[in-house]
Homo-oligomer: A and B are copies of this chain.
Amino acid sequence: MEQQLWNSVLAVREKSPLVHSITNYVVMNNTANALLAVGASPVMAHAYSEVHDMVAIAGALIINIGTLDEYWVESMKLAISQANTLGKPWLLDPVGAGATPYRNKVLQELLEYQPTVIRGNASEIMALASMSAGTKGVDSTNHTDEALDAAIQLNQAHGSVVCVSGATDLIVQEKGCLTLTNGDKLMTRVTGMGCTASALIGAFCATTTTHYFEATVAAMALMGIAGEIAAEKSPGPGSLQLHFLDTLYQINKDEFVQRVKLEEYNGGF
């Protein structure tokens, strides 16, 4: 499995997929940098007049509602429709799910388009599943394993690969789920690490036409491993962001394979 995950990292470096993000203002710069660091090619475009055409040339679409408004939500729907028509993978990042009724309403509408992958923290995934759990802004207040039921429910309702990220990452598909326990707590002090995870999942999904579960696991493994290597060199979050990008760019097979902490998860189904 570790070898297979590393092959996914290599596939991104070799194929350099174009990843189209309709994402929030806060993280556009660092998610673009993360995509470039792993070898992918980022594009951000949201105009009604071109999202249709941009999706057509991209390998995957990332939808991140962090700084949503009426214009952007409509743009997201246009782009998602096109992705579904063309059979391209798209990821939903439900930033701040549960924080406001508007956010919840929009997310319910977007879920109807059946995301290929959903990635959020535990409270976001729980809010998405129930549209009733509280959330404190964009930070997680629930533990990953508490979100397992919610992830399973979303997977069953929408057929999506569901990734709950946190100290333990949980990745759910129909056939079961895996956990990853790489990463470092200092990553929570850098804005947009979750959004970066979503962007990388998009890049990895763009290199396959069917193995979206494996692509998601590989992207999350790379996130966690690069984050923990970076954290070992970093006295604070400013340094972490720098070393994280350097590590995404530099990491080799040995570092990756030796560090991966992957397990099948038994608490579930």
Using a CB–CB distance below 8 Å, which chain A residues touch chain B? 18, 24-30, 32-33, 36-37, 41-50, 53-54, 57-58, 66-71, 96, 99-103, 136-139, 188-192, 234-239, 241-250
Given A137-B43, A238-B33, A100-B191 contact (CB < 8 Å):
no
A147 → B minimal CB distance (Å): 19
Copies in the complex: 3
Provide the residues of chain B in CB contact with A96, threshold 8 Å: 43, 45
Instruction: Write the chain B residue with the least CB distance to A26.
Output: B28
How far does the Cβ of A193 sit from chain B's closest Cβ, in whole Å? 10
Contacts A25-B44, A47-B102, A99-B57 hold; do A37 and B189 have CB atoms under 8 A apart?
Answer: yes
Structural contact, A249 and B32, CB atoms closer than 8 A: no
A47 to B137, CA, bound (A): 15
Residues A69 and B53 in contact, CB atoms below 8 Å apart: no
| CB of A97 to closest CB in B, whole Å | 12
The answer on a CB contact under 8 Å between A18 and B137 is yes
Q: A236-B246, A238-B245, A245-B236 are in contact. Are A33 and B70 (CB under 8 A)?
A: no
Contacts of A44 in B (CB 8 A): 24-26, 66-67
Of B27, B49, B246, the residue contacting A238 (CB under 8 A) is B246
Query: 10 A-B Cβ contacts within 8 A?
Result: A26-B29, A26-B42, A33-B190, A33-B241, A43-B99, A44-B67, A49-B100, A58-B137, A189-B249, A237-B246
A75 to chain B, nearest CB (A): 8
Chain B hits for A99, CB < 8 A: 43, 50, 53-54, 57
Alpha-carbon separation in the docked complex, A76 to B262 (Å): 46
CB distance from A49 to the nearest CB of B (A): 4
Separation in Å of the A76 CB from the closest CB of chain B? 13
Residues of B within 8 A of A249 (CB): 189, 235-238
Instruction: Provide the residues of chain B in CB contact with A139, threshold 8 Å.
Output: 41
Quick one: closest B residue to A250, CB to CB? B236
Identify which of B69, B136, B234 contacts A46 (C-beta below 8 A). B69
